[in-house]
Amino acid sequence: MRNSNNSPKVNAGSMADIAFLLLIFFLVTTTIPNDKGIARKLPEACPPGVKCDITKNERNVLRLSLNEFGELMVNETVTQMDELRELAKDFIDNNGDASCAFCKGKGVQASSDNPREAAISITTHRNTPYKDFIKVQDELTAAYLELRTAYAKSIFKKDASELSQMEMEIVKKAYPFQISEAAIQ
């Protein structure tokens, strides 16, 4: 006959050690993602008493807006996202020449005075999908990168990755990244 009062005993003395080792293992093997975000250099703060407002000629501003459905409008004309890069490059780099072939029929004035004057204004609805906002940022960054790379090759006869710091500053001054962002309700 069996004694039912004796239940098997579990030695829990090493449970704390096992839990501690598992904790150490997961802490050591887990990687924490390091998202960088969008790299932008913000303008310097305006000194007190100095008027820092910048007035741009309307022809030098390309107006982009994203609605709550992620639809892109360029100067109030619905535009496909995959057209944005070429449209931005043509707008920035046409030096006042209104012959932008890509811009015709897209509702875009094709006449920024020069790349140093060209600015892009982005207005987003507060419910715009984040992926669409990032896609616009990526396309604009790619447009500037392509323009700067072509400029570096034509002026310095080098790839952009081979430029010195001084040469890179010259390229950045020739094609300054001028973007204004605003959100609407």
For the chain, the structural domain boundaries read: 58-184
Asked if the model's pLDDT at residue 7 lies above 80, the reply is no
Q: In a 10 Å sphere around its CB, with 0-12 CB exposed, 13-18 middle and 19+ buried, how is residue 109 labelled?
A: middle
C-alpha to C-alpha distance for 126 and 39, rounded to whole angstroms: 21
What does pTM read for this prediction? 0.70
Using pLDDT thresholds of 50, 70 and 90, give the confidence band for residue 41: confident
C-alpha to C-alpha distance for 133 and 138, rounded to whole angstroms: 9
Cβ atoms 84, 72 nearer than 8 A: yes
pLDDT of residue 185: 63
Using pLDDT thresholds of 50, 70 and 90, give the confidence band for residue 3: low
Segment 59-67 shows an average pLDDT of 90
- The two tokens of residue 63 are 């107006």
Segment 152-162 shows an average pLDDT of 88
Cβ atoms 128, 73 nearer than 8 A: no
Using pLDDT thresholds of 50, 70 and 90, give the confidence band for residue 114: confident
For residue 47, give Cα distances in angstroms to 43, 110, 133, 179.
12, 35, 32, 22
pLDDT of residue 23: 92
What is residue 183's three-state secondary structure? strand
Worst-scoring range by mean pLDDT, 17-21, 39-43, 46-50, 171-175?
39-43
C-alpha to C-alpha distance for 20 and 25, rounded to whole angstroms: 9
Quote the mean pLDDT of the chain: 83
Q: Which long-range contacts (C-beta less than 8 Å, at least 24 apart) are formed by 137-142?
A: 137/38, 139/81, 139/84, 139/85, 139/88, 140/84, 140/85, 140/88, 140/179, 141/177, 142/85
pLDDT in tens, 128-142: 998 999 999 999 999
